[in-house]
Structure 1
């Protein structure tokens, strides 16, 4: 068995073709091993890993790497598990009311931005020519998020996780970093709400 065949037979995920680019295998394996050890309390010396760490983890591109879609789907499931455990730990330590207050506080902060008029929800880049997000695309998602929060609209957290906006230049769009940070908080909130709903079902 060649080295490549051995690697493929022991891989956690499907590997892309020899001429294709996927996620760096070593980086993915190391992160997942750390996350699993921490989740199972086997890693008592390493730094704590949170649902936020899982959500924001990134891996370098590499030839013959892991299929990105497979890894992303697994990371979403792992994030949900971490959210569930964080909820359980907080409830155990401070009671269920503390968890509900946390969700309510986050929702209030996010709602205030969602209520801003179209075209005014996020900053415009200060530098000319820098890439930014289409205002129309971002505002469309924001309106859907507001419906989700205030009217119990049906919107999957995966839609927000996988949101893609058309690129524009400079002040013709919203600043990417601010939009990304907001959506990161939104995913955190939606995952928390989903977890609470599943517990009540």
Structure 2
């Protein structure tokens, strides 16, 4: 009897690392059931989580669909509880910026298009320099940033990058910077 949460991708195809998926879902369920603690897992965490790819991993589409439903549930709860403090948003942005180049966001899938990793990393370095060191950066430079396409693993998935940049814009506006 199988205890897998999702169908597996098979031996010839890669899917999400099963243990990473299960660990994240366990943590999200614990936070959901407890009603907190605040910031431990939010809709943003669900939207931007990334997993390593492994042969015989969990089917990517099935996991992504489940994550979409979980994100929607967290969004609803967050809206009922009131807006997150901007300090929590800023802490999330700074945590993401601490990740190394090439590891800040989930990579693209197979032949799908995403944003070129180097271009996104260059902008995130400028954002870090602005938020941490006070170097000049206009909100509009972040808001209107455009990246060339990167195919497959040479690109970051677009949705997590876009969500992050939205949060950066919000943080910068609330700070009155840029």
Question: TM-score scaled by structure 2?
Answer: 0.50
**Larger Rg over CA atoms:** 1
